[in-house]
Amino acid sequence: MSLDQQFEAAAAKTKTYTKRPTDGELLELYGLYKQATIGDNNTSKPGMTDLKGKAKWEAWNGRKGMSQDDAKRAYIALVEKISSSYT
């Protein structure tokens, strides 16, 4: 199975969770997913009143410089690590 196929399978697996991961895990998943699919964050930082948007932006921006393949590998590893707790 190619890296892209493994990544897509991991992303699909997160949609089958019966319980919600912690906010920290969700932000980590989000940041890795965005880095893996888009690359470095190229959007402007949300304003101070948009706390959720700011947290998501920071989770993605914190991955700046990470290659898309490395982000895919990290995302797959994280999904494997936390899946037993949420399925």
Dump pLDDT digits (tens) for 31-80: 999 999 999 999 999 999 999 999 999 999 999 999 999 999 999 999 99
Distance between CA 56 and CA 69 in Å, rounded? 20
Is pTM, for the whole model, over 0.85?
Answer: yes
Distance between CA 68 and CA 34 in Å, rounded? 9
Q: Which CATH architecture has domain 3-14+23-86?
A: Up-down Bundle (1.20)
Per-residue model confidence as pLDDT tens digits over 2-44 = 999 999 999 999 999 999 999 999 999 999 999 999 999 999 9
**Confidence bin at 87 (pLDDT 50/70/90):** confident
- Phi-psi label, residue 65: left if phi above 0, alpha if psi -120 to 50, beta otherwise: left
Q: What is the torsion angle, in degrees rounded to the nearest 10, for the CA atoms of residue 15, residue 22, residue 60 and residue 17?
A: -10
The structural domains of the chain, with segments of one domain joined by +, span 3-14+23-86
